[in-house]
Structure 1
Amino acid sequence: MIAYYVHHQGSGHVHRASSIAAQARTPVVGLSGRPRPAGWTGDWVDLPDDSDGVDASSRDVTAGGTLHWVPRRHAGLAERMRRVSETVARASLVVVDVSVEVALLARLHGVPVVVVAQPGERTDRPHRTAYDLAERILAPWPVRPAGGWPDGWTAKTVHLGALSRFDAHPAPAAGDPCRVLVLWGRGGIDVGPDRIAAAAAATPGHRWVVAGPHPGPGAWPANLTWLGWVDDVWAELSAAGVVVTHAGQNALAEVAAARRPAVVVPQRRPFGEQDATAAALARAGIAEPTGSWPEPAAWPALLARAAQRGGTGWDAWSTGTGAARAAALLDGLAA
């Protein structure tokens, strides 16, 4: 059995885990603070909250800088780790996406660990512990230089390319060139609705639709529609001529699967995760990355450049086979 820990923040971790588990021959048990995802066929272990009521300034949550989150005498953390221990002790392999603490706990049970890497600066002491102890490191992006990574990490890293729940879908035909999809995620957004409205107002020849949190009633431009969170993201991607999105791995994987022209606006994340990804896209010439949300006057030219660039560059970012490759590797390690 493979035990697969899924981080609760955002939706990318659970989409990635679901895609890989669906391709694996070995039974996969999920562990997470998130609910069991639709379509998950194996067992699912619900993990309690380990942050409720925590004052990070007074509970030594990093254990002197050796870990990322271990608040003292927290009942939720204690029960969470008990449930993890109970599961990983029965496993032949543990996949961690992502938690330094779970990776260390699993290895202390004598179980081999595969760590899913995150972009950004990951050479702090806790990340070094997790990456050092890992049997393999799965990188859900194409091969690219990893500044500051020790040779030992590079040698055991498998670059999968981006993984999307839509990888099995054929890329749709070109969308409406005047339709702009703003695709947000659940991991946090730096851009307020007024700035999106100003961008729409500056591009009256385009129709903007926003898949993400709904701001409620307002004096919004006529060419701006707030969809709220949508169930059928693929339909919105297929209809769009250009996608404006953040630099989270899941959002980019879904844009890549649809091969859509894109403007990528990195959001603030720990360890510079999205900034690192946006920089990689810029180097590869795949999309139109920006350092921050552009001023209204910049949007007409920015959308034109993205449309002219097109979406074929995503071929280098996502082959559509990442989940199958990951599953085959995990099956081999678990055997």
Structure 2
Amino acid sequence: MIAIYLHHPRPESFDRARALVAALGDDALLVSAHPSPLGWSSDWTLLPDSELQTWVGWLRTRSPDTVIVEGPAEHARAVRDLGARLVVISVPGGSENAEQGSAYADADLILAPWPRAAAGGWPDAWRRRTLHLGALGWRATQIARRAEQLRTAGAPSRGRWHCVALWPTHAGPGPRERRSIAVETPGWRWTYAPERELLEPGPVWSNLVGAEVAVCTPSTTTLAALAAFQVPAVLVLPERPTVAQTFLAEAAAGTAPVVVARPYPRAEEWHALLSEASHLDGGLWKGWAPEPGLAELAGLLRGGTETGVAGTLLQA
């Protein structure tokens, strides 16, 4: 049995878990103290709470062979203490978090949602036990597979002068700022949407199919969507970016078709940024594709052919 433990009810965590379950199939079940999201059809084990003692009790009762943990270091450590094979899901910039680093030190295998080529600054001791999964996102992959259907249903084919702006909050730029940006980017059509819509089916995907450029802050959710649809982007770092945002921006800058904007651009700077991004090759997102890493993970955890350093570790 392969158990996937989710500690926090973050939508992006559920989305990553769905990608893992889809890759691992009937061998995997989801364990969490939080109810399954609407539409989840896979096996889901609901714990009464997220307390460590509850988690340890479940481990002792079910005795899974392998446990994938996205949660606190103490919950990961409990897996090792009971003799199961431990796999942890990394967070961008986790090398600067002492608590997260403790979980990595205990792990047999670390899953990183970014490509190997973007692993600069990742400690060597962790890199030897890391399997890079690229831009991991279940929803983005599913919608991308139906992209041709979206186009057939009337979504515009990708062409010049369409920009989709995705923001962490619903509002994004205010009306006055949007008018200023529109004035400074003549000929460009802007579509604004909250980033959270990338985790649900909806019109944001039809717009993304037809976009030549996307604008967003760097997150695992936005990068998964951009990679799935191979859309060049302007990545905007806020005035005080998080460690994760900085890590992902630097990772994408050297491996993907992106322009990184820092600080937040003035209205008159947007035209040059969009023009620069529009000339980038969206195919450069290929290195972020999650399918190769997921296929390797499935082979490793199902007891199939084990390759590389990660395979050697999992044989131990």
Give the TM-score category using the shorter length: 0.7 to 0.9
Contact 2:195 2:222 in 1 (8 A): no
* 1:18/1:40 contact within 8 Å kept: no
The change in CA–CA distance for 1:197 and 1:310 in structure 2 (over 3 A counts) is farther
1:1-335 to structure 2, matched below 5 A, reads 1-8=1-8, 10-32=10-32, 34-37=34-37, 38-45=39-46, 48=49, 80-89=51-60, 90=62, 91-120=64-93, 122-144=95-117, 146=119, 149-165=122-138, 166-167=140-141, 169-170=144-145, 174-185=157-168, 192-193=173-174, 195-196=177-178, 198-212=180-194, 231-232=201-202, 233-267=204-238, 270=242, 272-284=243-255, 286-318=257-289, 320-332=291-303
Aligned residue for 1:260, secondary structure, equals coil
Deviations 1:127-172, CA, capped at 9 Å, x for gaps: 2211111010111211136455443211111122222323363566
SS in 1 for 2:51: helix
Supply the distance in 2 between the matched residues of 1:299 and 1:313 (Cα, whole angstroms).
22
Amino acid at match of 1:266: L
Q: Tell me how far apart the structure 1 counterparts of residues 198 and 127 of structure 2 sit (CA, whole Å).
A: 40
CA distance in 2, matches of 1:45, 1:134: 24
| Residues 321 and 196 of structure 1: CA distance in aligned 2, closer, same or farther (over 3 Å) | farther
Inter-partner Cα distance in structure 2 for 1:9 and 1:293: 30
Structure 2 gaps, min length 5: 152-156, 304-313
- Pair 326,265 (structure 1): closer, same or farther in 2 beyond 3 Å: farther
Shift in Å, 1:258 = 0.3
Instruction: Provide the TM-score with structure 1 as the length reference.
Output: 0.74
Query: In 2 relative to 1, CA 35–177 (structure 1 residues): closer, same or farther, beyond 3 Å?
Result: farther
Taking every aligned residue pair, what percent have the same amino acid on both sides?
Answer: 31
18 and 230 in structure 1: CA distance in 2 versus 1, 3 angstrom threshold: closer
Partners of 2:119 and 2:281 in 1: CA distance: 27
Query: How far apart are 1:25 and its partner, in Å?
Result: 4.0
**Offset at 1:11?**
2.8
For residues 115 and 234 of structure 2, the distance between their equivalents in structure 1, rounded to whole angstroms, comes to 19
1:263 is displaced (CA, Å) by 0.9
Q: Is residue 172–residue 194 contact of structure 2 (8 Å, CA) maintained in 1?
A: no
Give yes or no for contact 2:236–2:262 (8 Å, CA) kept in 1. Answer: yes
Question: Which amino acid in 1 is paired with 2:116?
Answer: V
What is the deviation of 1:189?
8.5
Q: What is the deviation of 1:230?
A: 6.1
Q: Which amino acid aligns with 1:184?
A: W
Gaps of 5+ in 1: 49-78, 215-226
TM-score w.r.t. structure 2 length? 0.78
Separation in 2, partners of 1:33, 1:159 = 27
Structure 2 distance, partners of 1:229, 1:285, is 22
Quote the Cα distance in structure 2 between the aligned partners of 1:109 and 1:196. 55
CA offset at residue 46 of structure 1?
A: 5.2
The verdict on how the C-alpha distance between 1:236 and 1:6 changes in structure 2, with shifts beyond 3 A counting, is: farther
**Is residue 7–residue 97 contact of structure 1 (8 Å, CA) maintained in 2?**
yes
Compared with structure 1, are the counterparts of its residues 197 and 10 closer, same or farther at alpha carbon in structure 2 (3 Å cutoff)? Answer: farther
What is the Cα-based RMSD across aligned positions, in Å? 3.1
Match of residue 64 from structure 1: none
The CA deviation at 1:246 is: 1.6
- The CA deviation at 1:290 is 1.5
Q: CA deviation at 1:317?
A: 2.1
Contact 1:140–1:162 (Cα < 8 Å) also in 2? yes
Q: CA deviation at 1:307?
A: 0.8
More helix by share: 2
